[in-house]
Amino acid sequence: MSKTIDQNISAKSLAVRASLTREVPDPSCSLQQERSQWNEAARGVALAPRCQATEDRIGDVPCLWLSPGETASEDLLLYAHGGGLVTGSILTHRAFASELATALKRKVLLVGYRLLPEHPFTAPRDDLVTLYKALLAVGGYKADQVIFAGDSSGAAVAVAASVDLGQQNAPQPRAIVSLSGAFDTSLSGDSFKALAGKDPLLSPGVLLDWQKHFCGKIDLKDPVISPLFADLHNIAPVLLLAGDHELWLSDSERMHLALQAAGVSSSLSIYPGMWHVWPMWPSLPETSDAFREIDAFLCQTS
C-alpha cells in the first residue's frame, strides 16, 4: 500500500521549515568534530516527561533503554539511529527515542552500533543482529515482540539486519519501521536532483560530501550499506514513512516497490511538505500523525 497523507502542511510545520538552514559541506570540519558537535548539541535536550533512560551493554553492544511512564504493550522497538553510518549516537537520539517510546507506550532500545569508516562496513548491521539475538537468547524476548526501527541510515541498518537474519534462517523480528530511510549510498534516486531546491534541510552537496567516506572502499550499491539492492525476500513487514520534500524520498519509494516485488508486505506513507526525519521535531502535528500511524501498524502486525 502506498499513500500520500491527505492534508496540508500545518502552520507549526511551516514555521519550523522557515527556521531551518539547509546543510552544506564544511571542509574545515573533520568527522570527529562533526560527531562531537552533534553530541554536545544533544546533551542538554530533555527526555520526554516520565520517560526513564538506562544504559546497558548486551552481547557486548552498548545500548540505552527508554522506558515510558506508561506501557500498553510488551513490544520492544530495537532502534538504529541515523547519521549516515558515520555520525550519530545513543546521545544524539535519546531524546527522540524517549518521545517515540512515550507516544507508542512501548519500550525502545537504542543501539550504540560501531560507526564507519573506522570499523568494518558490516559493523552497524552486525551489532544490531548481535543485540537482537541476545535479546532472544537471554533477554526474555520473543521474536514477535521485537520491532526493528530506524531513521535515515538507521533504517538501512534495520533492513540490512533483517536481510542478514533471513540468510541465516534465523527468526525475523515482527516488523520494521523506517523513518525517511536512506537505502542507497550511490544516491541514484530521482529525488536527489528533483528535490534539490525543495528540501529545507539537506543539499546535494552535503550528501556527496558524505559519500566520500565510502567511495573507493566499497561498492556504493553493496547491500550491506545500500539494502535497496539486497535480496529482500522473506524479510519482516515494513512501514516506510517519508516526506515529499526530502532528497531521500526516492529511496523510500523504490524500497516500497522492491519489497512488493519480493513479496514482502510494505506500506509507504508520504507526508506533504515534510523534510528528512521530521518526527524528530516532537511538537509538530505531523509528528503526532506519524506516531499514530506507527502505532496502528504495530497493532496490525501483532
Task: Yes or no: say if 102 and 77 are a contact pair by the CB < 8 Å rule.
Answer: no
| CA proximity to 101, closest of 295, 232, 266, 297 | 295
246 is catalytic: yes
Given the residues 89, 98, 246, 252, the one annotated as active site: 246
| CA proximity to 101, closest of 127, 136, 75 | 75
Given the residues 89, 98, 152, 178, the one annotated as active site: 152
| CA proximity to 293, closest of 241, 253, 254 | 241
Task: Yes or no: say if 285 and 12 are a contact pair by the CB < 8 Å rule.
Answer: yes
Residues annotated as part of the active site? 152, 246
